[in-house]
Amino acid sequence: MQATYEHGLEQLSLYMPKIEALARRDGLDFDPVDFELVPNTFMMEVAVYGLPIRMPHWSFGVRYIHQQVQHRMGGSHIFEVVFPGNPNRAYLVTDNGLAQNTLVTAHVLGHADFSKNNALFARMQQQVGYHIVTEAAERAHSIQAAIEEYGQRRVEMVLDAALALEQHIDVDQPIHRHDYPVDIEPRANPKPTGFRSRYAALPGEEAPAARGRQRAPVPPHPESDLLWFMARYAPDMEGWERDIFLAVREESFYFYPVFACQIMNEGWASYWHARLLREADFLPDDVYLDAIKSHSDVIRPYASGKDFALALNPYHVGFAMWEHIIENEGLDTALRIRAEEDDFSFIRNHLDEALVEKLQLLGYRSGREPGAGIRVQVEDMDIDALREQLIAPKFNFSAPHVQAVELSNDGSLMLRHDHAADGRGLDLDRAKKVLDYIALVWRRPVALETIDGEGNKKTLAAR
């Protein structure tokens, strides 16, 4: 491990190799981790941008202000940010102190083991590469060069559209896809049988002409990978604009496992930081006690001073589930689950009724009532329905399922919202704003078929 130290935290450098040795002894397997201690302001920037250096866009500034407000109000505390790769890159906050950063060191090793051995992480990293931090910095430099050549307004227009669609990828497709077939392969006429064969043999009857090649429709099937589709098939998009769409798409592929495995990954890292701290007999008592207090804060089911929460704390749920699995099924089973599953199968396969009762999980339904604000009603659900409600926000990268369904001869594009699969309508104002972004770079009319919040069919249009 390598680390950069400030503010008298040299002691941490003595603990790091010992914690790493404990982790490997206990069965964790991870690529090297480069640690760096950074100021809190830098950490917030990394957490908001998603990468240390990333393409510039106003939306990241909005997110930064929101994060800063949450932090000042005590509602947000960032302990670390980790970027999987070989080596892994981990940022720790100088203001957190020795005990918290000792816990975070162990936590990061859990993340590093998970990202190296989990199948989804491995598949995405093999496609994207293992040096995303460096590549993202190079893309940011290229976009800055585009700003200097084409102007801030024009580049920002392309980024508006690309980042509005950053969740609209198809992770079941490879990152490097082939274009659609240009023509439909002609099919040979079926050989006649029975009466048709005798009819064809009559004098004067000619064999039917073979079917010629036909132009294939675009898309040949509903297309969910909107970033790829626009980069490849937008009628008048320039090369540098297509590159921006593909860059956003590649970064979305990189981030997808973090999203799709959040409960597993954070729970796994939390389980291992707690276990490694217990086994770290070289830690002074005061450091250990302060670190365990931080652990309790991390896995708390809801915010301090609250009696309930309407959203899951992935650290809390994941930690409890891994602890339950290891206690009842053993570490070898846990290592196999860590390698093979994501949050969807993890919740469906391993959140049993005993854990639901222990975690005090409840299903609920919410809705807005005139003059009464948002009303929340607890519902009695069976275990399967509760599992599905817990993972529902994770489908389709948490975005509405919108597909490109038709590209007309004049270049106009039809999009369709699969509201039946989503089980919801769209916020029409937000959808229209995104459609306007798309139309500006598509440079042809664009329409979207959907339903509103009341279930009424709507078609939005932009040109």
pLDDT tens readout for residues 74-133: 455 678 889 998 899 999 988 888 999 999 999 999 999 999 999 999 999 999 987 888
How many other CB atoms are found less than 10 A from the CB of residue 372? 8
pLDDT of residue 372: 56
Per the model's pLDDT, the better-predicted residue between 192 and 181 turns out to be: 181
Per the model's pLDDT, the better-predicted residue between 413 and 84 turns out to be: 413
pLDDT of residue 441: 97
Q: Is there a domain that residue 120 lies in?
A: no
pLDDT of residue 428: 93
| Section 39-45 average pLDDT | 84
pLDDT of residue 71: 46
**Worst-scoring range by mean pLDDT, 80-89, 287-296, 316-325, 327-336?**
80-89
| Confidence class for position 6, pLDDT limits 50, 70, 90 | very low
Q: Is there a domain that residue 150 lies in?
A: yes
pLDDT of residue 73: 41
| Section 205-228 average pLDDT | 81
pLDDT, mean over the chain: 86
pLDDT cut 90: percent of the chain above it:
62
pLDDT of residue 382: 87
Does 334 score more than 50 pLDDT?
A: yes
Distance CA 167, CA 400 (A): 9
Q: Is there a domain that residue 449 lies in?
A: yes
Q: Do the beta carbons of residue 36 and residue 82 sit within 8 Å?
A: no
Q: Where are the beta strands (DSSP E) in 316-387?
A: 363-369, 373-379
**Worst-scoring range by mean pLDDT, 188-202, 262-276, 281-295?**
188-202
Q: End-to-end distance of the chain based on CA atoms, in angstroms? A: 54
Q: Is there a domain that residue 144 lies in?
A: yes
Q: What is the strand order of the sheet 413-417 is part of?
A: 402-407, 413-417, 446-451, 457-462
| Section 294-315 average pLDDT | 73
Residue 155 vs residues 62, 101, 146, 150, 380: alpha-carbon distances, Å:
18, 40, 7, 7, 51
Tokens of 328: 């009842």
Residue 154 vs residues 27, 146, 431, 434: alpha-carbon distances, Å:
52, 9, 22, 17
Distance CA 140, CA 32 (A): 26
| Confidence class for position 263, pLDDT limits 50, 70, 90 | very high
Q: How many angstroms from the chain centroid is the CA of residue 214?
A: 39
Alpha helices for 35-170 (secondary structure H): 40-49, 58-72, 97-117, 119-128, 132-150, 152-164
Q: Do the beta carbons of residue 348 and residue 391 sit within 8 Å?
A: yes
| Section 215-219 average pLDDT | 92
Does 309 score more than 60 pLDDT?
A: no
Distance CA 269, CA 80 (A): 12
| Section 291-305 average pLDDT | 80
Domain that holds residue 415: 132-173+218-258+400-462
Sole residue written with tokens 């083991």: 113
Does 195 score more than 60 pLDDT?
A: no
pLDDT of residue 5: 45
Does 403 score more than 80 pLDDT?
A: yes
Does 433 score more than 70 pLDDT?
A: yes
| Confidence class for position 66, pLDDT limits 50, 70, 90 | very low
| Confidence class for position 25, pLDDT limits 50, 70, 90 | very high
| Section 328-353 average pLDDT | 97
Does 398 score more than 80 pLDDT?
A: yes
Domain count, the chain: 1
Q: Is there a domain that residue 55 lies in?
A: no
Does 336 score more than 90 pLDDT?
A: yes
Does 64 score more than 50 pLDDT?
A: no
Q: Is there a domain that residue 441 lies in?
A: yes
Does 2 score more than 90 pLDDT?
A: no
Q: Is there a domain that residue 243 lies in?
A: yes
Please tell me what DSSP assigns to residue 402: E
What length is written for the chain?
A: 463
Does 134 score more than 90 pLDDT?
A: no
Q: Is there a domain that residue 448 lies in?
A: yes
pLDDT of residue 138: 92
Does 60 score more than 60 pLDDT?
A: no
Does 417 score more than 80 pLDDT?
A: yes
| Section 271-275 average pLDDT | 98
